Amino acid sequence: MSRREMSNIGAMSKLRILLLGWVLLPAAVLAAAGESVATDNVKARLVSEVNGVVPGGSFWVALEFDIRDGWHTYWRNPGDSGQATTLVWKLPPGVSAGGIVWTAPHRFELPPLVNYGYAKHAVHLVKISTPADLPAGVPLELQAKASWLVCADVCIPESADLRLLLPVGAHAATLDAAAAPLFAAARAQLPDAAPAAADASVRQGRLLITLGPAWGAALGRIKSLEFFPYDDGVIEYAAPQTLTRTADSIELAMKVGYQPPHAGTIDGLLVATRDTGLSTVPLEVAARFGSGDGTTLQAGPRFAPAGPAPAATVPVLMLLAVLGGLILNLMPCVFPVLSIKAIGLVEAAKKHPTEARIKGLSFAAGVIGSMLCLAAVLLVLRSGGEQIGWGFQLQSPLFVTLLVYLLLAVGLNLSGVFEVGAGLAGVGDGLTRGNGYRGAFFTGVLTTLVATPCTAPFMAAAIGAALTQSTLVAIAIFTCLGAGLALPFTLLSFHPGLSRVLPRPGAWMDTMKQAFAFPMYASAAWLLWVLAQQTSAAGLGAAFAGAILIALAGWSYQKSRVGSGHVRTATLIIAAVAVALAVWMPAQLAAFSGGASGGAAGGRTSREGADVWQPYDAARVAALDAAGAPLLVNFTASWCLTCLVNERNAFADPAVQAIFRDKGVTLMRGDWTNRDPAITQALASFGRAGVPLYLVYHAAPDSGGTPLVLPQLLTAGLVRDTFATLPNRGTPDRGLN
């Protein structure tokens, strides 16, 4: 809902956000021309600077907000939390709208957080351009959906459908006198171009912006400066900004953030207070890094991974990706699928070695191709500002439901309820008839799909780095990940001694094929449990009903293969309708996903000592860190099998639970089962794009403020040893009051 606004409120406030944020979300109301639309906290309207439009020209409109006292909306970079206001236009053909031109923001301090935005009144300017063939005499209708987040002690997303009608004439339009003061006041808060470029450098974790002699007389008139970066994470927003003068320059110093700047240019606003103290002047500045100033940065101490980190070179990252892909083959979410495919490979290798090799290459193509498609979607969404990571598709209840159907269909196929295609070439071969090469390809696709709930060792660092590198480097890393995942099966298909090592084909293969149906059923049942953490009873019921329809579709399809005439047609129609209904029902009920929006944080309260875990809260982490209190932060998700195994084998161990109590360790769970931008951002700050991630603060008396990053595969002994040197402190502060 917001990126980090929840960080400064307790559990009850979070519950209020979840309830109010969507229950009170106002319905969009179509306003008359220029009329305002009032929500509970904001009155919004579109205002035109002109009283008429001419074809082939341009003019300005304003989105005007009157904001309820004590509440605020957000700037293009909201700061530590929040969400920028957006406009989605619906315009006649040929008419276009530019982006929002942002006025200078205000600083809102909500310790320990700082936000950037607007209180009481805000005006967002947008330029509209019209085509030369715009018909005169017909009013021009502008429609826009405005969406914003408005916050006080809670945050509420609001929106309004706005409409503006303007006459179109052949002659130049005149300015609207009534609107002139509004536009003049807004333009006074727009940034001017800086008199000269600024220089940027980084020293000892501090970003320095220097205004040099080229600024001339303007330097002497500046009383104070404040920098508002356009990009998130460049600086720590709550840290003080210190101004230092020399004879011919001014230097503004601030602490770097969790996404520190690199060589290039830092863009943002410098808001300067004149020496009279009576006015402020926003200046758009581009601070450029000079050469040799040490601009290759690491994240600030609080955000830096403290565990051993591999060298951040592309070859090392690619090697880590290959190793991570190799280990994925042993994960419980991948191994059953590969076992199914291995059955077909036994028969093919005995009779047709060349065919086995081509199938191995087809499988590799399916794995790598689908991995690159997944990477492309992830990178495109990331470039658009979305906060997502590895396994993001499993945060969609609809995707999880469809994956349940797929695994159920696989199991039914293996059990012999229906047969698609010929031979024992595995579930992928059921997608086509003939030689099964395309079947092997689609088995590779399926392997990638079921691999995403897992994050293998070595893989997390590679994926996390891939999302911060150039597109070509990211593609190379994901290609290596796919190659590692496909490598064992592909090598098996090329092994020259395959025919001597593998057993003879026989009836045992059909028995094993049927036995492998049960891991598929188990995987489908596990995903239904994941779905229960994400959706409501209605959504879960729709998935169960859909599963029955998928079984009906498989049975009907099998009947169509042995029937003829009208029977064949009728059973095929039944199968098609059953599949369509199975997909349609959960899609219609996707809105019920808020039923468990807390994810497993809400759904796990009765599991393995989970009553001692409190929800992740960045502000509370900072407070406990500052106090030197021992803290374990567990970033997890219900669909992450590695996470669940660690929680059962390590965190639920009675001896581990005892040491948590005796040492006064505060336990915090960041649940990523459903999409949570705050957790995504926290993962990114440690160079991770997925779960699990385990952070330990102050595990030893001399550990300092930098957290320790535990391995992704945990044992009870490792967790006990991590806290063994701490003195007994008694019951920790759970922060639940």
Amino acid, single-letter form, for residue 642: T
Q: Residue 494 falls within a domain, yes or no? A: yes
Are 254 and 207 contacting, i.e. CB atoms less than 8 angstroms apart? yes
C-alpha closest to that of 16 among 144, 196, 142, 155: 155
Query: In what helix (H) or strand (E) does residue 415 lie, and over which residues does it extend?
Result: helix 397-415
Q: State how far the Cα of 378 lies from the Cα of 381, in Å rounded to an integer.
A: 5
Residues 422 and 329 reside in one and the same domain: yes
Residues 241, 322: one domain?
A: no
Give DSSP secondary structure letters for 321-352: HHHHHHHHTTSTTTHHHHHHHHHHHHHHHHH-
421, 456: one domain? yes
| Residue 380 buriedness (CB in 10 A; 0-12 / 13-18 / 19+) | exposed
Question: Six-digit token pair at 539?
Answer: 């959504």
pLDDT in the model for residue 547: 85
Give the pLDDT score at 119.
94
Q: Do 197 and 320 reside in the same domain of the chain? A: no
Residue that finishes a domain, picked among 549, 575, 593: 593
Instruction: Indicate whether 11 and 119 sit together in one domain.
Output: yes
**Do 436 and 459 reside in the same domain of the chain?**
yes
Give the CATH number, domain containing residue 717. 3.40.30.10
Asked if 459 and 321 touch (Cβ cutoff 8 Å), the reply is yes
Q: Are residues 518 and 615 in the same domain?
A: no
Is the alpha carbon torsion for 412, 416, 418, 419 positive or negative? positive
Structure tokens at 335: 């191994």
Whether 469 maps to a domain, the answer reads yes
For residue 231, the enclosing domain spans 193-289
- What are phi and psi for residue 245, nearest 5 degrees? -105, 145
SS (H, E, C) 565-627: CHHHHHHHHHHHHHHHHHHHHHHHCHHHHHHHCCCHHHHCCCCCCHHHEEECCHHHHHHHHHH
**Is there a domain that residue 728 lies in?**
no
Do 341 and 203 share a structural domain?
Answer: no
Whether 567 maps to a domain, the answer reads no
Which H/E stretch holds residue 669? strand 666-671
Residue 393, number of CB atoms within 10 A of its CB:
18
Extended beta strands in 91-212, E state: 96-97, 106-110, 113-119, 121-129, 140-151, 155-166, 192-193, 198-203, 206-211
CA-wise closest residue to 445 among 397, 392, 406, 405: 406
DSSP run (H or E) holding 266: strand 265-274
Q: Tokens representing 374?
A: 């997944």
Q: Are residues 391 and 459 in the same domain?
A: yes
Q: Tell me, yes or no, whether 630 and 701 share the same domain.
A: yes
Residue 403 resides in a domain: yes
Strands 198-203 and 250-255: unpaired
**Distance between CA atoms of residues 334 and 482, nearest Å:** 13
Q: By C-alpha distance, which of 459, 481, 457, 461 is closest to 712?
A: 457
In a domain, 417, yes or no: yes
Query: Please, are residues 337 and 427 in contact by the beta-carbon 8 Å criterion?
Result: yes
Helix or strand run (H / E) with residue 251: strand 250-255
pLDDT at 595: 39
pLDDT at 701: 66
Q: Which residues of 642-669 are buried (b: 16+ CB within 10 A; e: fewer)?
A: bbbebbebbbebeebbebbebbbbbbbb
pLDDT value at residue 590: 53
- How much is the pLDDT for 121? 95
Judge if 202 and 186 occupy the same domain. no
pLDDT for the residue numbered 10? 38
CA gap 468, 54 in Å, rounded: 46
User: Contact, 440 vs 345, CB < 8 A?
Assistant: no
Domain total in the chain:
4
Parallel, antiparallel or unpaired: strands 666-671 and 631-636: parallel
Is 732 within the bounds of a domain?
no
The Cα–Cα gap between 697 and 714 comes to: 17
- CATH number, domain at 217? 2.60.40
On whether both 185 and 198 belong to a single domain, the answer is no
- The answer to whether residue 231 sits within a structural domain is yes
pLDDT of residue 73: 95
Low-confidence stretches of the chain (pLDDT beneath 50): 1-33, 291-312, 385-387, 421-435, 499, 591-611, 734-737
